[in-house]
Amino acid sequence: MDPILSIAGVSKTYDGGFRALEPVDLDIERGEIFALLGPNGAGKTTLISIVCGIVTPSSGTITVDGHDAIRDYRTARRRIGLVPQEVSVDAFTSVLASVRFSRRLFGKAPDDAYLEEVLRDLSLWDKRKSRIMELSGGMKRRVLIAKALSHEPDILFLDEPTAGVDVELRRDMWKLVHKLRAKGTTIILTTHYIEEAEEMADRVGVINKGRIIIVDEKAALMAKLGKREMTILLQEPMAAIPPALGEWDLTLDDDGKRLVYVFDAKAEHTGIPSLLRKLGDLGIGFNDLETSKSSLEDIFVDLVHEPQEQAA
């Protein structure tokens, strides 16, 4: 199947000369949840703002469901819903009027039954008559989501959806994301929270300093690059790691009571049998062993780590 969104050679240099995006190539499949993961300033908002027609790219093409996003802007834009990071909504309007307005803006016929469903999913139905200026910050963010969904977009962009939101909104939002996905909506979220990408996404693209470093299925990414940790619970606390254990990547934790070994889960030789043998040879007893699963966080840190920092 054709990708629903195709980004080819898209770059951005802002006025003043700042290069925010190196040429990016990225295809988004229909119905997937894609997380664009990267630290602050990596270029996430720039990229989605370009796709949504808010920022003009310096080069490249974007195709939304077969429509060129620049030449055929209106048709392409109609397929997209954007939940921006910043809350700037029409303060004096009521929630329902604002959501109806957004729908109209995209040329959709009125459908109050649909809008009611959206507002109920976002726990906003009871507030539908409130003026937006009277709502709390969290409620305003819910309105932004409702507005983005008002015209039944095929692709929903969520820019840092849970930055600074309360637990309840986060929960509602994830429920909604799953529901939308079940209906076939494609979801692209930007985040610098690894847990968010880990929890939600089918695929993850890691972006740093305007470059997409890697794009892969979340599970494959973790299997490919994941590290594991083995914690050895020592019988006697250790003051320092003996030099004889220098060939393993070990650290001491919990006042010397735990020896932590970081190893490459995909390597042919993990080094575990030899380490355990060596501990026996040195007369170092232990009570238990624990291994932890690789996390996206380890991968992310590895990927965005500066070579200079590694050397330091």
Ligand X SMILES: Nc1ncnc2c1ncn2[C@@H]1O[C@H](COP(=O)(O)OP(=O)(O)OP(=O)(O)O)[C@@H](O)[C@H]1O
Tell me the closest approach of the beta carbon of residue 284 to ligand X, in angstroms. Answer: 45
Distance between CA 263 and CA 227 in Å, rounded?
A: 6
Tell me the closest approach of the beta carbon of residue 296 to ligand X, in angstroms. Answer: 17
* Cβ-based nearer residue to ligand X, 45 or 162: 45
Residue type, 2: D
Tell me the closest approach of the beta carbon of residue 166 to ligand X, in angstroms. Answer: 20
Query: Is residue 153 within the footprint of ligand X (CB under 6 A)?
Result: no
Task: List the one residue from 128, 170, 181, 192 that touches ligand X (CB under 6 A).
Answer: 192
Judged by DSSP in three states, 33 sits in strand
Tell me the closest approach of the beta carbon of residue 138 to ligand X, in angstroms. Answer: 19
* Cβ-based nearer residue to ligand X, 18 or 73: 18
Where in 196-235 is the site for ligand X (CB under 6 A)?
none
* Cβ-based nearer residue to ligand X, 55 or 238: 55
Task: Provide the Cα torsion 303, 305, 307, 310; round to 10°.
Answer: -120
Task: List the one residue from 37, 42, 119, 173 that touches ligand X (CB under 6 A).
Answer: 42
Where in 55-94 is the site for ligand X (CB under 6 A)?
none
Where in 279-298 is the site for ligand X (CB under 6 A)?
none
Tell me the closest approach of the beta carbon of residue 97 to ligand X, in angstroms. Answer: 30
* Nearest in space to 103 (alpha carbons), one of 157, 143, 149, 151: 151
| Binding segment (CB under 6 A) for ligand X, from list 3-11, 40-48, 57-65, 173-181 | 40-48
Rg (CA), the chain: 24
Distance between CA 92 and CA 84 in Å, rounded?
A: 20
Tell me the closest approach of the beta carbon of residue 95 to ligand X, in angstroms. Answer: 26
Tell me the closest approach of the beta carbon of residue 145 to ligand X, in angstroms. Answer: 18
Task: List the one residue from 2, 9, 14, 302 that touches ligand X (CB under 6 A).
Answer: 14
Q: List C-alpha distances in Å: 242 to 251, 252, 279.
A: 11, 11, 10
Phi-psi region of 31 (alpha: psi -120 to 50; beta: other; left: phi over 0): left
The count of residues interacting with ligand X (CB under 6 A) is 14
Query: Is residue 278 within the footprint of ligand X (CB under 6 A)?
Result: no
Phi-psi region of 138 (alpha: psi -120 to 50; beta: other; left: phi over 0): alpha
Residues 91-110, mask of contacts with ligand X (x by CB under 6 A): --------------------
| Binding segment (CB under 6 A) for ligand X, from list 42-50, 113-121, 131-139, 274-282 | 42-50
DSSP string, 180-237: HHHTT-EEEEEES-HHHHHHH-SEEEEEETTEEEEEEEHHHHHHHH-EEEEEEEESS-
* Cβ-based nearer residue to ligand X, 43 or 57: 43
Query: Is residue 38 within the footprint of ligand X (CB under 6 A)?
Result: yes
Handedness of CA 175, 181, 186, 188 (dihedral sign): positive
241-244 contact pairs (CB < 8 A, 24+):
242/282, 242/284, 244/278, 244/282
Strands 211-217 and 227-234: unpaired
Distance between CA 172 and CA 152 in Å, rounded?
A: 18
Chain residues in the site for ligand X (CB under 6 A): 14, 16, 18, 20, 38, 40-46, 160, 192
